[in-house]
Amino acid sequence: MNVLHQTVSGVLLCGLAANVLAAEGTATDGQLGPTSRGTVPVELSMPTVVQISGLASVSFTYDPNTRGDLSKSQNFCIYTNNENAQYDINVASGNPSAANKFQLEGNGKTIIYDVLYAAVKNATDNLTTLTSGTDVAGTGANTTQMDCGGASGDVATLKLVIPEANLWAVPRGTYNDVLTLTVTAK
């Protein structure tokens, strides 16, 4: 009887071990009978993801009767599923100068302008002046809604400034640049 008991126990333990292994990675078929039960393990491998949204085109018109720098700001959304809500942002000019400054180009001329960034919306001070193509650390990304819940949930500010002094010697015409914003979750 001991041999039978040991054999039955061994088969039972092997059967339990097989069920545990099956549940962890291998599907099993059921046995023929009045009922049959099989297993299908399900696994999701979720990488860290990030998304930027809520960006808008920016257009300036210079008015010589209104003195001062030309400046426009916009809020935008940065989402990540990374719990620490940290990311790097890189803003690159389509026309960077040799010193990686942002430039508008047109009529064979260039106009240097500034791009500033803050990891909070509606920022008016404590913005970081960016260098084209250089990563800057950010925190506070939205971690629950990919669109930040709309404009009210935006988490960052982008500000563009064209110093008035840079406009004085520029011939009339249209000057353009395209900014590429790249966000990488950390």
Statement to judge: residues 8 and 85 lie in one domain: no
pLDDT of amino acid 176:
97
Judge whether residue 13 has pLDDT over 70: no
Taking residues 62-86, report their average pLDDT.
93
- Count structural domains, the chain: 2
pLDDT of amino acid 54:
95
Q: How many CB atoms lie within 10 A of CB 3?
A: 7
Q: Are 157 and 75 in contact, with CB atoms under 8 Å apart?
A: yes
At 12, the pLDDT band (50, 70, 90 cuts) reads: very low
* Residue type (1 letter), 130: L
Q: What is the pLDDT of residues 108-142, one digit of tens each?
A: 999 999 999 999 999 999 999 999 999 999 999 99
pLDDT of amino acid 66:
87
Q: How many CB atoms lie within 10 A of CB 25?
A: 8
Give SS3 for 6: helix
Statement to judge: residues 13 and 39 lie in one domain: yes
Statement to judge: residues 32 and 99 lie in one domain: no
Judge whether residue 3 has pLDDT over 90: no
Under DSSP, the state recorded for 31 is P
What is the domain range of residue 36?
Answer: 1-43
Q: In the listed set 11, 26, 43, which residue is the last one of a domain according to the structure?
A: 43
Statement to judge: residues 25 and 116 lie in one domain: no
pLDDT of amino acid 157:
97
Give the CATH number for residue 157.
2.60.40.1090
Q: Which helix (H) or strand (E) holds 36?
A: none
Judge whether residue 58 has pLDDT over 50: yes
Q: What is the pTM of this model?
A: 0.80
Statement to judge: residues 6 and 72 lie in one domain: no
pLDDT of amino acid 168:
85
At 24, the pLDDT band (50, 70, 90 cuts) reads: low
pLDDT of amino acid 82:
93
Please report the sign of the dihedral spanned by the C-alpha atoms of residue 107, residue 109, residue 112, residue 117: positive
Joined tokens for residue 55 = 């960006």
Mean of all residue pLDDT scores within the chain = 87
Distance, CA of 178 to CA of 36 (rounded, Å): 62
Helix ranges (DSSP H) in the chain: 2-25
Percent of the chain residues past pLDDT 70, beyond the cut: 87
